[in-house]
Amino acid sequence: MAGPQRPLHEMRDYIRTFSLDTLPHGNQGYQRVLLQLVGHIGSGKSALINSCKCVLDDGEFIMYAKATDAPGAVTSSRTAYELTPTISIVDNRPVIIMMKMEMAEVYAQLGNFRPLNGPVNKNWTFYDYMTTLEETELNPNYTDLIVPVLVDDTRFHFGSEQEEIQTFLRECKLMTGFIPIVVITNKGSRNTSEVRNKFIAMGAEQVIPVEIYTTENRERTRGKDTDILIFLYNALQDVAYYMSQQRDLRRERLERKKFLLKYMHDVEIEKKVQEALRKAEINRKEKR
């Protein structure tokens, strides 16, 4: 659920001046908040980034992140866009299907085991995964606090993937300490309420419908600005709550690494079982 609707200038000022240093326990070693976006092709991730930049800058709409529905021209790298000195929002290669191999890259990013502003991997092998995890120990990232954001525009609403979404929400909590915020980027759709209720039923705690700015619809309105600010404000409220407890960054990173190793091991075992079943079926047919 969206939080209390404060005046626009108060929310904007809070977001612009938000600092981890001023929290009750200080920054505890964190230096930056990353709002990590996850979503299907055309879900509105890039447009959401552009809208956040526009509203926080309180100026004209500029297309910083390329927004397109064309499968051949979507984001192919994990790219960070600075909103404030403390907050960045991160675009990513879109999720095609929420299968385990597809999600391996997502979890590696959410665990701070993949660098920003570099290409993403969509064809993990167990060796790739192990190598990546070991290489990150040369320069481990303890300073980025990642808040996962699941983006949907009601056209997809993960209709056939409800079980996968439930798993993703649960595993995100294990990986990051946060249940993903769900942002619905097509607030005016007639099935927005239905989609919102489905996400809540799957375990989401915050489902925030917004109307985003685009190159075709860039005229600033109070309603759209309010939507975007509520999303950012609530994300930072989650951060403040998370940081209200004492954190052990190194211990938490170790737990994330354990999760990733087990996750990829299970994926590899499942892959081998499926391959064995496939070969057995081929042999059975050949013996007929």
Q: Describe the crossing of helices 100-110 and 126-136 by its angle, rounded to 10 degrees.
A: 0
Whether 227 has a pLDDT exceeding 70, the answer reads yes
Integer Cα distance of 38 and 154 in angstroms: 15
Question: pTM to 2 decimals?
Answer: 0.89
Structure tokens given for 263: 């996750």
pLDDT tens digits, one per residue of 10-30: 999 999 999 999 999 999 999
pLDDT higher at 174 or 285: 174
| First-residue to last-residue Cα distance in the chain | 58
Integer Cα distance of 3 and 46 in angstroms: 24
Q: Which residues, in sequence order, are CB contacts of 46 under 8 Å at separation 6+?
A: 65, 66, 67, 68, 75, 91
Mean model confidence pLDDT for the chain: 86
pLDDT value of residue 87: 98
Integer Cα distance of 221 and 167 in angstroms: 37
Whether 2 has a pLDDT exceeding 50, the answer reads no
pLDDT higher at 282 or 155: 282
Integer Cα distance of 275 and 288 in angstroms: 21
Average pLDDT of span 177-189: 92
Distances (CA, A) of 195 to 2, 41, 170, 212, 229: 15, 17, 19, 17, 21
The alpha-carbon radius of gyration of the chain (Å, integer) is: 20
Average pLDDT of span 70-74: 45
pLDDT grade for 225, boundaries at 50, 70 and 90? very high
Whether 53 has a pLDDT exceeding 90, the answer reads yes
Dihedral of alpha carbons 165, 213, 238, 120, sign = positive
pLDDT value of residue 69: 44
For the ranges 119-123, 212-216, 227-231, 259-263, the maximum mean pLDDT occurs at 227-231
pLDDT value of residue 97: 64
Average pLDDT of span 138-144: 88
pLDDT higher at 128 or 189: 189
Token pair 């996400």 in the structure block, residue:
199
For the ranges 23-32, 114-123, 257-266, the maximum mean pLDDT occurs at 23-32
Question: Strands 144-152 and 181-184: what pairing?
Answer: parallel
Integer Cα distance of 11 and 13 in angstroms: 5
